[in-house]
Amino acid sequence: MQAAVSVTPARIPELLLGLATVRPVFIWGAPGIGKSSLVRKFADSLGLECVSLLGTQLAPEDLIGVPQIRDGRSVFCPPESIARDEPYCLFLDELNAATPDVQKAFYSLILDRRIGNYELPEGSIVIGAGNRATDNALARPISSALVNRLAHVHLSASVTDWLGWAAGHGIHPWITDYLTDRPDHLWSKPPKTEEPFSTPRSWHMLSDALHSFGPTLDEETLKVVAHGTLTPGHAVAFCGYVKVVRSRFGLDAILKGDAGWPHRLEERDLLYYLAESFRGRLAKELPAAKEHASPSVRQTAYRAKSLLVQLAEISVEVAQTVIADDADGNPLLPAWFLVEAARDMPRLVEARR
């Protein structure tokens, strides 16, 4: 299912309070952005126990129960985890990953709040969640009958929400500081190949690892844990950031001329990180039109071209990332600056094409 409108995690409690208390709700979203934790937190805010059922681990009989003979008639007895006397939150996690037979078994529970003769206690709520087919996750098509039994909410990751949460949950300061500078690295689209990718959950995992290893964490181990949890490009940039924190290098020092670009082969991840930071600084400070540039900004542009030449002498590939287009194929830096770069550094611009 495609999102016509999406919401950030901060909006979920308000929406669930208005929707889930009157109708079943399904939360769509990519893996690792916090769907399950948001549901559990919401249930806790209402004073309801959250009972989770995982769609991929269920068979129809796990819901409708097994028959027993009472007074010569068979009666289906739903499992104890569902058949409760007090109101609760029934969380159907990975509902759209369940088999069609299991999805059908949920019909009456979702719409009529009933399984056989058992009816959910008054005050109970039903919430489902799942990934989208475009997330390269296990997701089966759900029938129109099931779609129409649910109100649908599409969740997207928000760096503002996550950093606000991280401040009170012990996330390692390297990570919060890094994502403050690079908010676009909080989440990346799940790859089609089997490799780690960045999500709020994977950053949390990396934070746990950093705390576990402590201040004695060496560079090689950092590379292992970063590449084991993050999108490869994000892992390289994060390792570079940590080197900046631990070493004499810093973009401001390079811009002022107090330090040069790191040039040793073992410092290549640091070089990539500094180049990305340099690109972000230029995108922020250079105006779209040259005539709007103040003398100090023009001096910045002149210095930037000099630094690009120095960077290209170390690595044309790394220097090219500074002037590269964005993910949608649009120029990130102003056209006038790129024209001047083409004039002064034809070798670098030819490599960009």
The CA distance from 312 to 58, in Å, is 57
Helix ranges (H only) for 58-118 are 61-64, 100-105, 107-111
Which residues, in sequence order, are bridge partners of residue 92? 53, 128
Q: Report the pLDDT value the prediction gives residue 202, as an integer from 0 to 100.
A: 97
Nearest-angstrom CA–CA distance, 274 and 254: 9
> pLDDT digit string (tens) for 240-274?
999 888 876 678 888 888 888 988 887 888 888 88
| pTM for the structure as a whole | 0.72
| Tokens 């690109």 found at | 279
Q: Distance between CA atoms of 323 and 332, rounded to whole angstroms?
A: 7
Task: Check whether 317 has a pLDDT greater than 60.
Answer: yes
Residue 23 in this model has a pLDDT that exceeds 80: yes
CA distances 88 to 49, 56, 121, 152, Å, are: 5, 22, 8, 21
pLDDT digit string, tens, across residues 117-147: 788 999 999 999 998 877 766 667 788 888 8
Give 137-166 as a DSSP string.
SS-----HHHHTTSEEEEE---HHHHHHHH
Please compute the mean of the pLDDT values over residues 4-24 and round it to a whole number: 93
- Count of CA atoms in the C-beta half-sphere (13 A) of 54: 4
Distance CA 260, CA 250 (A): 9
- At 279-299, the pLDDT tens digits run 988 998 999 998 888 888 888
Burial of 74 (0-12, 13-18, 19+ CB in 10 A): exposed
* Distance (Å, whole) CA 337 – CA 334: 5
DSSP character for 196? Answer: -
